[in-house]
Structure formats: structure tokens, C-alpha cells
């Protein structure tokens, strides 16, 4: 249960943020770059895939959004309480993975709403997706920094590294 001294935790953290920044609203970011370079069918494919994913995301939010928000807040509160109040390190690690991903989910929902409201296509759509990716990456940088600081503190305070 020593999460912060476990290599697999740090690998999972890196993979999570790499995946989150590559898949922008369910669309691989290389599709955005290909649409920018080549246009034509690549552009149409991007617009279709974004339309499908934004409609799906907004439908889920309309139908189950309140329940998902309630469940997410409950789980994060439980992990935060068990982790930081009771000192359970696995709960701290899961909280430090889950909270930033909840922020990414809210950013995704906001971007999907904007894309649908504006009926974005072409250059405007690519700008929205690029901005969304930038926000996800900034969230990831802050998350990795905070997690690394907390992990180092935990490892040094429990004597795992220092003997």
C-alpha cells in the first residue's frame, strides 16, 4: 500500500496524463494536425468524430450529469478523507489521480458545450480542440508537480528513502 514509493504508481500517472493530452474529446490529436495540414476528407472526418463525441458527452451530462457529479464528489470526498485525515496512502494516491481527472472532465464538458453552441467547424473547431488540449496539459503539469511534491514528502517523512 506504499503508493508513492511504488514505480507502478508513477508509470500509471505518466500514462494517464499522456493519454489525457493525446485524446481530445475522444479524438486523437494527430487527427487535428492532419486536418490542419491536409483538409478535405481529413477535415470532414475530424468534424464528424467531434460531432459524435460532443453529442454523446452532452447527452450523458443531460441524462445522468447530476448523478455522476454526486457520485464523483462522494468518491473524491471519501478518498480525500481516508487519505489525508486517516493517513491511508493508497487513498491519497487515488485522490491525487482522481481530482485532476475530474477537472479534465469538467473542461471537456465545457469545450463540448462551446463547440455545440457555436456549431464549430474548420479552423474554429481546430482552435477549440487545441485550446482544450493546452488546458488539459496545464492541468497535468500542475497535477504532476503537486503529486511529486506530496510523494517526496511522504517518502521522506516515513523514512522509505532516507533509512
Work out the burial of residue 64: count CB atoms within 10 Å of its CB; fewer than 13 is exposed, 13-18 middle, 19 or more buried: exposed
Quote the distance between the C-alpha of residue 19 and its chain's center: 8
Confidence tier at 158 by pLDDT (50, 70, 90):
confident
Which sequence spans correspond to the domains of the chain?
7-155
User: For 96-117, what is the mean pLDDT?
Assistant: 97
3 state SS of 13: helix
Query: Which candidate, 100, 132, 101, places its Cα nearest to that of 114?
Result: 132
CB 31 within 8 Å of CB 133: no
Residue identified by cell 493546452 is: 134
Chain segment 114-129, per-residue pLDDT in tens: 999 999 888 999 999 9
Question: What residues does 77 pair with on adjacent strands?
Answer: none
Chain segment 63-91, per-residue pLDDT in tens: 999 999 999 999 999 999 999 999 999 99
3 state SS of 27: strand
Check residue 161 and give its pLDDT. 54
CB 114 within 8 Å of CB 25: no
Does the pTM exceed 0.75? yes
Query: Which candidate, 62, 69, 102, 99, places its Cα nearest to that of 84?
Result: 99
Amino acid at each position: 500500500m506504499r503508493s508513492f514509493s511504488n514505480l507502478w504508481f508513477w508509470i500509471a500517472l505518466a500514462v494517464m496524463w499522456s493519454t489525457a493530452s493525446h485524446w481530445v474529446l475522444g479524438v486523437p490529436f494527430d487527427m487535428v494536425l492532419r486536418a490542419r495540414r491536409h483538409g478535405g476528407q481529413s477535415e470532414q472526418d475530424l468534424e464528424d468524430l467531434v460531432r459524435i463525441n460532443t453529442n454523446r458527452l452532452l447527452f450523458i451530462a443531460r441524462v445522468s450529469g447530476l448523478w455522476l457529479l454526486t457520485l464523483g464528489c462522494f468518491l473524491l470526498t471519501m478518498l480525500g478523507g481516508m487519505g489525508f485525515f486517516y493517513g491511508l496512502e493508497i487513498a491519497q494516491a487515488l485522490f491525487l489521480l482522481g481530482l485532476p481527472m475530474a477537472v479534465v472532465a469538467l473542461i471537456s464538458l465545457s469545450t463540448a458545450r462551446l463547440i455545440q453552441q457555436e456549431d464549430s467547424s474548420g479552423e474554429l473547431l481546430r482552435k477549440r480542440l487545441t485550446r482544450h488540449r493546452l488546458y488539459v496539459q496545464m492541468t497535468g503539469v500542475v497535477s504532476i508537480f503537486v503529486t511529486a511534491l506530496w510523494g517526496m514528502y511522504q517518502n521522506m517523512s516515513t523514512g522509505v528513502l532516507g533509512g
